[in-house]
Structure 1
Amino acid sequence: MEHKVGTREEWLAARMELLEAEKELTRRGDEVARQRQELPWVRVDKEYRFDTDDGPAGLADLFRGNSQLLVYHFMFGPDYTAGCPSCSSIADGFNGSVVHLANHDVTLHAVAQAPLAKLQAYKRRMGWTFPWASSAGSDFNYDFRVTHSAEEWRTGSVEYNYRQLDVRPLGAADLRADLVELAAGTGTDFPTYRQQGPGVSAFALDEEDGAVYHTYSSYERGVDAVWGMYPWLDRAPRGRNETGIWWRRKDEYPRR
């Protein structure tokens, strides 16, 4: 064991110092949440179509009777054979939250570009019950900057997370092994895998005239906030303690 060991008194003194930092972080988090909620709303005038378990739907239909909609942009492209392992780990926490959110005027809905039949089969495999819509054939993923065409990636200039990115590897040897592993886990190569990106978007519905407004989107590390295992790991003795991508789909871990 390589860690400082002390007395209960020493621990308590250090814990009280940490408590002040935690309280300040909480207060700062409250302030950031307030700023997030004060963002101007942008009316969505474009018609988007989705395939759902209940049939074809528009964006307003995804609200399912509530006035607020949270969308998780799930990395499951049309050429994937399975959902992204990282997104799958995040989505494992959705089932328990959906009912509570629905009773607080908020609908949580996953959206992916793969055909509905693929999403339904994967949901059955994972044991998920949260609503999931296919945006296949729609501009939705492209407009909210979570899907980019192969042509866009080849240009070396892709807009993602509010900046221009060039994630093209110089060659196969330049790809990190963990990224190759992630792509292989979806049945694709890295360029195909990375045409998709994770994200979270929020929408509001004007119940009087049916207008939908885009209120918020976040990407990359901004998605960590809804990744349920990380707040737990941040409180574990060794923290995240990560060396590469260690997580798997929940049915791929060795039996313990």
Structure 2
Amino acid sequence: MHKTGTRQQWLDARLQLLAAEKELTHRSDAVAQQRQQLPWVRIDKEYRFDTPQGSVTLADLFKGRSQLLIYHFMYGPDFKAGCPSCSSIADGFNGIVVHLENHDVAFSAVSRAPIDKLMAFRERMGWSFDWASSFTSDFNSDFNVWFSEEQQREGGIEYNYRREPPANNTQQNTLEWRGDSDTPVGLMAGMTGTDIATFTRDRPGVSAFVMENGEIYHTYSGYARGVDGLWGMYQWLDRAPKGRNEQGVWWRHHDRYDQA
């Protein structure tokens, strides 16, 4: 049973929380400024992507704007469906993109699966945001969101700025990318129709780019819990009476809850 109290007791406690929330907001503003002060790194490699309009370059994804945000969506060529976590995050994209694009910021999701597979899943989910396939390029590998079977086996994965132990290492890493089929990562792999090893060679993330004087620069990338702030449902749950209140993976593709 949660503690109860009078309205005055609630107000006293709420004012204490308000001070903490304001402190968090100011700290978040400072971190955002630090993020924007990172040095820019020029992109010298020519990346191409498949889209419904045909083959395009990284510059084309800007669509005439000076900034580009890319969500690295976990959907590998062998997946039968997109990652359920990425899908839950992507459920919030449709309403946001129009505002970004009218504020000089282009947006696109990027995945390794072939474009026909991406478009079929997009239609199933009722999404309309831009989604490009990096199936024929090194883009996902270069931005540390895809790793080879050899890297996975030999401990060559560097994700979220940390090197992971080999996949056959019994040590459970903090991101729980290894485990049995009934672990969180195993359940998510099952929802994509693949096995854990295949599922975990693709990873989620967000990357930012800017174009200035015809040159493209990489400005930021975030991974793992670094994309948590983009996950709309959690921002709401953090304000619900019982918070996230979760044990393991409870979310599904939004059209699969009735089958859970």
1:180 to partner: Cα distance: 1.4
- SS of the residue aligned with 1:254? helix
1:253 to partner: Cα distance: 1.0
Match of 2:162 in 1: 163
Match of 2:11 in 1: 12
What is the 5 A alignment of 1:122-201?
Answer: 122-166=121-165, 168=167, 176-201=182-207
Separation (CA, whole Å) in 1 of partners of 2:153 and 2:188: 20
Equivalenced residues, count: 252
**Is the 1:169–1:175 contact (alpha carbons within 8 Å) kept by the matching residues of 2?**
no
Separation (CA, whole Å) in 2 of partners of 1:111 and 1:27: 32
Match of 2:227 in 1: 223
Deviations 1:181-210 (A, max 9, x none): 11111111000000000000000011xx42
Separation (CA, whole Å) in 1 of partners of 2:190 and 2:244: 24
What is the 5 A alignment of 1:1-256?
Answer: 2-166=1-165, 168=167, 176-206=182-212, 209-254=213-258
1:170 to partner: Cα distance: 5.2
Q: Percent identity?
A: 61
- Shift of the 175–249 alpha-carbon distance from structure 1 to 2, 3 Å rule, reads closer
**Is the 2:43–2:217 contact (alpha carbons within 8 Å) kept by the matching residues of 1?**
yes
1:157 to partner: Cα distance: 2.9
Deviations 1:217-256 (A, max 9, x none): 000000101000011000000000010010000000129x
**Is the 1:111–1:132 contact (alpha carbons within 8 Å) kept by the matching residues of 2?**
yes
- Shift of the 148–254 alpha-carbon distance from structure 1 to 2, 3 Å rule, reads same
- Shift of the 92–169 alpha-carbon distance from structure 1 to 2, 3 Å rule, reads farther
Separation (CA, whole Å) in 2 of partners of 1:17 and 1:243: 29
**Is the 2:74–2:111 contact (alpha carbons within 8 Å) kept by the matching residues of 1?**
yes
Q: Which runs of 4+ in 1 moved over 6 A?
A: none
- Shift of the 167–154 alpha-carbon distance from structure 1 to 2, 3 Å rule, reads closer
Deviations 1:29-73 (A, max 9, x none): 000000001111000000001001111011010011111000000
- Shift of the 177–14 alpha-carbon distance from structure 1 to 2, 3 Å rule, reads same
Please give the root-mean-square deviation of Cα atoms over the aligned residues, in Å: 1.5
Separation (CA, whole Å) in 1 of partners of 2:194 and 2:208: 29
Separation (CA, whole Å) in 1 of partners of 2:101 and 2:179: 47
Separation (CA, whole Å) in 1 of partners of 2:91 and 2:179: 33
Structure 1-normalised TM-score? Answer: 0.95
1:173 to partner: Cα distance: 7.0
Separation (CA, whole Å) in 2 of partners of 1:166 and 1:199: 20
In structure 1, the gaps of 5 or more residues are: none
- SS of the residue aligned with 1:214? strand
